[in-house]
Amino acid sequence: MVGDRTVAESLAEITAELVAQEPSAATRAAVARTLIDWFGVTVAGSAEPLPRTLAATLASGGSARLLGSTRGDHRADPSTAALINGTAAHVLELDDIYAPGLVHPSAPVIAAAMAVGDLLDTPGAVLERAVIAGVEVAGRVAEDLGPSHYRRWHTTGTAGALGAAAAAAYLLELDGTATTHALALAATMAGGLQQTFRRDAAGKPLHSGNAAQAGVVAAISASGGATGATDALEGEAGLAAATGSEATWAACRERSPRTPVIEQLTVKPYPCCGHTFAAVGAAIDLHARGVRPDDVEAITVATYGTAIDVAGNPDPQTVAGARFSLAYTVAVALTDGRLDQACFTPERISDPVRQALSARVALTAAPQYDAGFPARRGAALTVRLRSGDEVSQALADRPGSPQNPLSADAIGAKFTGLAEPVLGGAAAAALREQLLDVSSVGSVRDLG
């Protein structure tokens, strides 16, 4: 504690300060970009087996909508809608990232905000501020929990729950004390094990869904007077201590002007683990330079150690495993000159040309990339050709990051490619127009 304020109390104060401010033009543009990206990946993700199973089994009517492929078929109570939409937002591995926090903040935060917004018939301008606040809290908590936490815990499931609670608490008009309790309650419900995505397993999207649901439940509980341990983050048996974090909670206490987290998000260009992106981008560049699988004797990927820890699977057998394999993603990117959803199918995984190239990929941790992690994510590929020559390609920052951003056209094309097959062209275009200026939308219920 600093003075008599706990970390949760400090975050509640920061939330109140954020939502009391008129968003700047840059922040508004970031919100529009974030909402467009979230709706695109969530609508497309809703068609995947896991969200559809949850919707068919758990949705039994209520105030909140399920987005995308289940739209019109199912409604749910707010916590269940948050769970299902939050899972859909993460299932394709295409949702945004706050690199300094090793977290996907928007997937759980916006799922929670939409669920509570549907309940309350919230105006778009209020949703906008809820998203700003929720992403800020998720990012700051994740930044403080840090790499020591991320070694065993999935920060989207832990810090994401607090971000979801902050967004929901604002929408429910909780005061500072109740918001503090909502954050503390979310902390005690947070979870998500790294082991889930270090194997060929498909449960990782549930971390995001659970975080969204935990945030909604925590905020609604606090609105009815439920209390949490207000030192649930920094206490001797709190979130940091329990999860091996070395947090000093500097980001969660910082009051000096800082760029909002929502303006610092990475927009994912590839449907796989973000730790692979720099290597994938380098492989695509090498393909453009004329390198082909038949030319290759060996490939060395030099990157930061965490990328190898998380995405070091040398021979994935499932789509979920392939999304977390540097060897697979680099081999496919070098072969095809791209990396999109069509690259993640059982047929592509079993392709003998791809398998042979994957087997020639070696991974090594490089000090220059470890030094920049987690704020920056770089990689270098060195390809030894059968001719005996070597070619190299390096990216200091992964594609989609604030340092190497996607263009507005690329983000728009990503949304269209994801949303149109589910919603149809006219509906997808109309939704994108709404999201470009969400503050002018009369009700959250009109979105999607």
Distance CA 276, CA 108 (A): 22
One-letter identity of residue 276:
T
As a whole number, the mean pLDDT across the chain is: 95
Could you report the per-residue pLDDT of 312-340, keeping only the tens digit for each?
999 999 998 999 999 999 999 999 999 99
> Comparing C-alpha atoms, which of 310, 289, 277 is closest to residue 403?
277
Band of residue 73 on the pLDDT scale cut at 50, 70, 90: low
One-letter identity of residue 424:
G
Q: Which two tokens stand for residue 293?
A: 């699988």
Distance CA 209, CA 66 (A): 13
Distance CA 434, CA 331 (A): 39
> Comparing C-alpha atoms, which of 386, 315, 380, 325 is closest to residue 351?
315
Return the DSSP state at 68.
Answer: G
Could you report the per-residue pLDDT of 20-58, keeping only the tens digit for each?
999 999 999 999 999 999 999 999 999 999 999 999 999
Cβ–Cβ < 8 Å for 146, 246: yes
Which residue reads 């009109």 in tokens? Answer: 446
pLDDT for 71:
56
Residues whose CB is less than 8 angstroms from the CB of residue 25 and which lie 6 or more positions away in sequence, other chains included? none
Return the DSSP state at 98.
Answer: B
Q: Which two tokens stand for residue 73?
A: 């078929």
- Give the phi and the psi of residue 241 in degrees, each rounded to 5: -60, -40
Band of residue 70 on the pLDDT scale cut at 50, 70, 90: low
Distance set, CA 371 to CA 237, 301, 304, 305, 396 (Å): 31, 17, 8, 10, 12
Is it true that the peptide bond before 374 is cis, omega within 30 degrees of 0? yes
Give me the count of residues in the chain: 448
Domain positions in the chain are 7-267+413-446, 274-395
One-letter identity of residue 249:
W
Q: Which two tokens stand for residue 100?
A: 């300094």
Could you report the per-residue pLDDT of 177-219, keeping only the tens digit for each?
999 999 999 999 999 999 998 888 889 999 999 999 999 999 9
pLDDT at 2 over 60: no
> Comparing C-alpha atoms, which of 398, 367, 353, 362 is closest to residue 382?
362
pLDDT at 448 over 80: no
What's the CATH class of domain 7-267+413-446?
mainly alpha
Distance CA 393, CA 328 (A): 18
Could you report the per-residue pLDDT of 240-287, keeping only the tens digit for each?
999 999 999 999 999 878 999 999 999 999 999 999 999 999 999 999
Give the global pTM.
0.94
Chain centroid offset of residue 422 CA: 21
Q: Which two tokens stand for residue 296?
A: 């290759």
Which CATH superfamily hosts domain 274-395?
Answer: 2-methylcitrate dehydratase PrpD (3.30.1330.120)
Chain centroid offset of residue 23 CA: 22
